[in-house]
Amino acid sequence: MLILFLLRIRITSGASTELSLRGQHFLSTLFVKHDKDSDGALRPEELQELFSTCPRQAWDGLAQQGVKNTEQGWITMQGFMSQWALITLLSVNTSLEYLAYFGYPFLEQESQANAITGAILFFQF
């Protein structure tokens, strides 16, 4: 059983977080990889497969209704990326945790924590 240990990041008041270009690229590539029929949306089975390395899906069906979906209710690439933008803004630690579950690459980083935090940008206002 794989156990992940992540450093919990505290975001100071007035600061925000968002996905870096590397983080966005990683997640969009993950979407394309799991869009088996290349229809630009993830069917429930494809979404379940995408989250198969995670203890649970990062959002529930109700949250998914607030983003771009197909007529069948399947999440599109735009909706998928919107969900991750929102998760990263509201709970950077959740975003970092899921990036680790998905196998975010180390890319010559000193440690997994440094590699994963490279997927997030921090802004102070």
Written as six digits, the tokens of 25 are 């690229």
Predicted pLDDT of residue 2: 46
**HSE of 16 in the Cβ direction (CA atoms, 13 Å)?**
8
Amino acid occupying residue 56? R
11 in Cβ contact with 111 (< 8 Å): no
Predicted pLDDT of residue 104: 84
Predicted pLDDT of residue 112: 53
pLDDT digits (tens, 9 = 90+) for 5-62: 555 667 677 777 888 888 899 999 999 999 999 999 999 999 999 999 999 998 876 6
The DSSP symbol for 71 reads T
103 in Cβ contact with 26 (< 8 Å): no
- Domains, the chain, ordered by start: 15-124 (1.10.238.10)
